[in-house]
Amino acid sequence: MIRIIICLFFLFSMGCSQNQNVLIIQNKGSDTLVNLAQAWAEDYKNVNPQVALAVSGGGSGTGIAALINGTVDIANSSRAIKEEERVEARKNTGHDVKEFIVGMDALAVFVHPSNPLQGLTIEEVACIYGEGGTCTHWHDIRGVKVPGCKDNKIIRVSRQSNSGTYQYFRESILGKKRDLKLGSMDLNGSRESIDLVEKTPCAIGYSGMGYLNPRVRALCIKKDPQSNCIHPTVETAMNKSYPISRELYMYTSGYPSERVKAYLDWTQSERAQEITIKAGYVPAPKGQYGN
């Protein structure tokens, strides 16, 4: 019995010693990227068991704020960092922010499967979501009538303002000088947006295409009335023919440590890109990975 206790104590001590040697990389930010970042983190344990990634969401703005405050190693973002954020980070940490493009995404606009609408122009999306837009009912869009939608009134599902998806959607659809109109249902994450539209015939929402499922239907989008209507896919995001395509970023404060840089480089490996595609995202364009 004493021998068993001694052995267990030895194994426990070894386990504690090994845990003390594990480097924890704090990785926070974009809800669009969180699923992919978690999948990468799980696989990376097989590459380097001495490194563990603590991945959490909260929105691109939350991740960048944590980077500015020096509380994370990597900030995930579905939008480019703003110049004023770079300045604040330099002021607070003494380091310039380093940018790494780790993937691509298509920002899908989706509706309930019962909605007969097949596609929208950018102008029509702006008419639905934009400040001053007059498209309040589905029949305002080419006379569409949605089965099961009381009064045919559009329910706009959006994201909270700390979301990079929210900011990219607003700027790409409306431009920097126009805002989204009030009265939308502003949710915390992409999954919540999908779940709500899935259960609400009147609703329309938007998210990264990696969150799409068969219980909602993504619309094709036209840049203008004369353009082809393009669906969000890996191919159309990669060649940017889909009008609402975007880069996905990871940011560090200053040049990353050796272990953090090794992980970031691994995200561009063949294995990591297989995970990227399987998760519904697009690998980063070659030559655009890091600054």
pLDDT at site 20: 58
CA distance 287 to 179: 34
Task: Decide if 178 is inside a domain.
Answer: yes
Instruction: Based on the fold, state whether residues 156 and 214 are members of the same structural domain.
Output: yes
Instruction: Based on the fold, state whether residues 211 and 82 are members of the same structural domain.
Output: no
Query: Each residue of 91-121: pLDDT tens digit?
Result: 999 999 999 999 999 999 999 999 999 999 9
- The answer, yes or no, to whether residue 290 has pLDDT greater than 80, is no
Q: C-alpha angle 95/59/110, rounded to 5°? A: 140
Range of the domain at 42: 18-104+247-283
Instruction: Based on the fold, state whether residues 174 and 117 are members of the same structural domain.
Output: yes
Token pair in block for residue 98: 């380093």
Instruction: Based on the fold, state whether residues 271 and 157 are members of the same structural domain.
Output: no
Task: Decide if 10 is inside a domain.
Answer: no
Coil, strand or helix: which one is 199? coil
Residues 6+ apart with CB under 8 A from 148: 114, 201
Instruction: Based on the fold, state whether residues 185 and 96 are members of the same structural domain.
Output: no
Instruction: Based on the fold, state whether residues 120 and 223 are members of the same structural domain.
Output: yes
Task: Decide if 153 is inside a domain.
Answer: yes
Instruction: Based on the fold, state whether residues 177 and 215 are members of the same structural domain.
Output: yes
User: pTM higher than 0.75 for the full model?
Assistant: yes
State the residue for tokens 């691109």.
60
- The answer, yes or no, to whether residue 291 has pLDDT greater than 70, is no
Q: What percent of the chain has pLDDT over 90?
A: 83
pLDDT at site 4: 39
- The answer, yes or no, to whether residue 12 has pLDDT greater than 50, is no
Tell me what the pLDDT averaged over the chain comes to.
90
pLDDT at site 81: 96
Task: Decide if 289 is inside a domain.
Answer: no
Instruction: Based on the fold, state whether residues 92 and 137 are members of the same structural domain.
Output: no
Query: Each residue of 120-129: pLDDT tens digit?
Result: 999 999 999 9
Instruction: Based on the fold, state whether residues 148 and 215 are members of the same structural domain.
Output: yes
As a whole number, mean pLDDT of residues 181-198 equals 94
Task: Decide if 3 is inside a domain.
Answer: no
What is the H or E stretch that residue 1 is in? Answer: none
As a whole number, mean pLDDT of residues 231-235 equals 93
- Residue 233: which pLDDT band, with cuts at 50, 70 and 90? very high
pLDDT at site 284: 85
Question: 36, 29 in Cβ contact below 8 A?
Answer: no
Q: What is the CATH number of the domain that holds 190?
A: 3.40.190.10
Instruction: Based on the fold, state whether residues 50 and 174 are members of the same structural domain.
Output: no
Query: Each residue of 31-42: pLDDT tens digit?
Result: 999 999 999 999
CA distance 206 to 187: 11
pLDDT at site 5: 38
Question: 84, 275 in Cβ contact below 8 A?
Answer: no
Q: C-alpha angle 12/15/21, rounded to 5°? A: 145
Instruction: Based on the fold, state whether residues 231 and 251 are members of the same structural domain.
Output: no
Count of domains for the chain: 2
- The answer, yes or no, to whether residue 17 has pLDDT greater than 70, is no
Task: Decide if 12 is inside a domain.
Answer: no
